[in-house]
Amino acid sequence: MQQFQQYIDGAFSDGAAQFESLDPATGKPWALMPEARAGDVSRAVEAAERAFHAPEWAGMTASQRGKLLLRLADLVAENASRLAELETRDTGKIIRETSAQIAYVAEYYRYYAGLADKIEGAHLPIDKPDMEVWLRREPIGVVAAVVPWNSQLFLSAVKIGPALAAGCTVVLKASEDGPAPMLEFARIFDQVGFPPGVLDVITGFGPECGSVLTSHPKVAHVAFTGGPATARHIVRNSAENLASTSLELGGKSPFIVFEDADLDSAVNAQVSGIFAATGQSCVAGSRLVVQNTIKEEFLSRLKVKAENVVMGAPQDMETEVGPLCTQRQRENALSLIDASIAQGARLITGGTALDRDGFYFPPTIIDCSGAPDAPCVTNEFFGPVLSVLGFDTEAEALEIANNTEFGLASGLFTRDLTRAHRMIRGIRSGIVWVNTYRAVSPIVPFGGHGLSGHGREGGLQAALDYTKVKAVWLRTSDDPVPDPFVMR
């Protein structure tokens, strides 16, 4: 079996223990991963803390940091196919998607490379004579970055990129499910020439590794992507170190289709919105909210697409839907579907486990119009399952769209411009895609509210979020400071 190592203080080592990683396409172990426990976590944080203060990093100019990030971007691009193969092997995400996504990950590092020397302070027009006041933007310190298994290279780039651009150091905890691409990324990072400890990459389990990391007294900020239940642990952990947090959590994003929409476009976007990444995507458009006048036609077109999806080995370029990452995901999908059918939801296609090795689950469409409060409508699946609700009026569409505890993304398909603007204003989500879905860019902030979390990744603000403001007061008068006890 292939063996991987963790990366601490610029060196590769074994963890306190090892665990097996399963190939989701077969359900069998294929690699041994280093399991970090408390001692490894502390070594990583200490290394990041030393690196944060060391002159090699703290004294580096912002432009130099940018140049290193550019070099990292180039190396990620050069090694994209190797990273993609590893991510596909370890997580089951299909090779078509990992190849395209990782090539684009390089653009995130390029974007933050360019921002490194544009993180500016400010000069204030102070209301006192003989005084100059300005604000310095300084890096916040050691960042603990915790990511889930899906798209780890992407989800870590939106943390590592802005954090290093700002001058922070980072301890990244890769998910225990499919950590191979992140551990390999550490080998690429090691070639760039950053001082040791600036980035440390470990993996391990929640209680023994993630919890120790996010409550560590030397951690200043926790950048977390994962589910809301884990996010609650993170917030509790931050009561220990009083670290700031940014939380990118799940979603139950509405995909709203009006009768005047271009249906060909809407069908394609919905298929990509829910079946791409085998539905294991935080922005999955998993609640179809469709006008009743076109509902049956729309569903019959979707059904044809869902039933003709090419399911297969994730390594095969022809495959359109691969396995889920874990057995746990498959069990979760089955139990939510069963509970929803018991409450009156109607299965249109899919919904049952496939009789084959690996963690495969078929594209599924379930009409919940008769059961609008079913678990299929309220819970995040993280699988290729689309729940459907019909509406008659615009007001009803908006009410259904907003009837969720999440608030990450939404899709809107209509050709009516004024209606589009009214809907955009009314929808409660961090992203609204109109007549498109899933578009992302390093230039655009990404994030949600409610159970989808807080904070934004991507864009200029994300780099500023890795800084703290220092207010500097400088007295310009040569007169002595007056004696405070002499009355004038």
Which residues, other chains included, contact 292 with Cβ-Cβ below 8 Å and sequence gap of 6+?
Answer: 390, 391, 392
Sheet holding 169-174, edge to edge: 11-13, 6-8, 199-203, 169-174, 142-146, 221-225, 244-248, 453-454
| Contact flag: residue 22 with ligand NAD (CB under 6 A) | no
Which residues within the stretch 261-290 sit at the binding site for ligand NAD (CB under 6 A)? 282
Q: How far apart are CA 446 and CA 281, in angstroms?
A: 14
- Distance (Å) of CA 96 to CA 125, 319, 481: 54, 8, 69
Taking the complex as a whole, the smallest distance from the CB of residue 350 to ligand NAD amounts, in Å, to 20
| Contact flag: residue 380 with ligand NAD (CB under 6 A) | yes
Which residues within the stretch 177-236 sit at the binding site for ligand NAD (CB under 6 A)? 205-207, 210-211, 214, 225-227, 230, 233-234
| Contact flag: residue 173 with ligand NAD (CB under 6 A) | yes
Catalytic residue, from 35, 46, 176, 282: name it: 282
Q: How far apart are CA 72 and CA 186, in angstroms?
A: 11
Q: Which of 86-94, 120-128, 248-256, 316-324 is the region at the interface with ligand NAD (rule: CB under 6 A)?
A: 248-256
Query: Nearest Cα to 454, choosing from 420, 407, 395?
Result: 407
Q: Binding string to ligand NAD for residues 346 to 375, with x set by CB under 6 A, is what?
A: ------------------------------
- The count of chain residues that interact with ligand NAD, using the rule CB under 6 A, is 29
Backbone angles phi, psi at 67, to 5 degrees: -65, -40
Type and span of the H or E element at 152: helix 152-166
Contact 28, 89 (CB under 8 A): no
Q: Is 282 a catalytic residue?
A: yes
| Contact flag: residue 148 with ligand NAD (CB under 6 A) | yes
Taking the complex as a whole, the smallest distance from the CB of residue 199 to ligand NAD amounts, in Å, to 16
Q: Which residue has the tokens 């509405």?
A: 254
Strands 169-174 and 142-146: parallel
Amino acid at 393: T
Q: 132: alpha, beta or left, given left = phi > 0 and alpha = psi -120 to 50?
A: beta
Q: Give the number of other CB atoms < 10 A from CB of residue 472.
A: 12
Q: How far apart are CA 389 and CA 402, in angstroms?
A: 13
Contact 283, 270 (CB under 8 A): no
Kindly state the DSSP code that residue 198 receives in the 8-state scheme: S
148 vs 161, which CB is nearer to ligand NAD? 148
Q: How far apart are CA 415 and CA 260, in angstroms?
A: 6
Q: Is 168 a catalytic residue?
A: no
Taking the complex as a whole, the smallest distance from the CB of residue 153 to ligand NAD amounts, in Å, to 12
96 vs 216, which CB is nearer to ligand NAD? 216
| Contact flag: residue 450 with ligand NAD (CB under 6 A) | no
227 vs 344, which CB is nearer to ligand NAD? 227
Catalytic residue, from 35, 49, 176, 248: name it: 248
Q: How far apart are CA 402 and CA 428, in angstroms?
A: 6
Which residues, other chains included, contact 345 with Cβ-Cβ below 8 Å and sequence gap of 6+?
Answer: 337, 366, 367, 368, 370, 371, 374, 376, 387
3-state secondary structure of 14: coil
| Contact flag: residue 88 with ligand NAD (CB under 6 A) | no
Taking the complex as a whole, the smallest distance from the CB of residue 93 to ligand NAD amounts, in Å, to 12
Give the N- to C-terminal CA distance of the chain in Å, as an integer: 83
Q: How far apart are CA 242 and CA 228, in angstroms?
A: 19
189 vs 381, which CB is nearer to ligand NAD? 381
Taking the complex as a whole, the smallest distance from the CB of residue 88 to ligand NAD amounts, in Å, to 17
Among 249, 261, 276, 299, binds ligand NAD (CB under 6 A): 249
99 vs 379, which CB is nearer to ligand NAD? 379
Taking the complex as a whole, the smallest distance from the CB of residue 3 to ligand NAD amounts, in Å, to 20
Taking the complex as a whole, the smallest distance from the CB of residue 38 to ligand NAD amounts, in Å, to 13
Which residues within the stretch 391-420 sit at the binding site for ligand NAD (CB under 6 A)? 408
Backbone angles phi, psi at 135, to 5 degrees: -115, 130
DSSP 165-212: HHT-EEEEEE-SSS-HHHHHHHHHHHTTTPPTTSEEEEE--IIIIIHH
Among 149, 189, 361, 433, binds ligand NAD (CB under 6 A): 149
| Contact flag: residue 150 with ligand NAD (CB under 6 A) | yes
| Contact flag: residue 248 with ligand NAD (CB under 6 A) | yes
Taking the complex as a whole, the smallest distance from the CB of residue 245 to ligand NAD amounts, in Å, to 11
Taking the complex as a whole, the smallest distance from the CB of residue 189 to ligand NAD amounts, in Å, to 19
60 vs 143, which CB is nearer to ligand NAD? 143
Among 382, 391, 433, 466, binds ligand NAD (CB under 6 A): 382
Residues with catalytic roles: 248, 282
Chain positions contacting ligand NAD, by CB under 6 A: 146-150, 155, 173, 175-176, 205-207, 210-211, 214, 225-227, 230, 233-234, 248-251, 282, 380, 382, 408
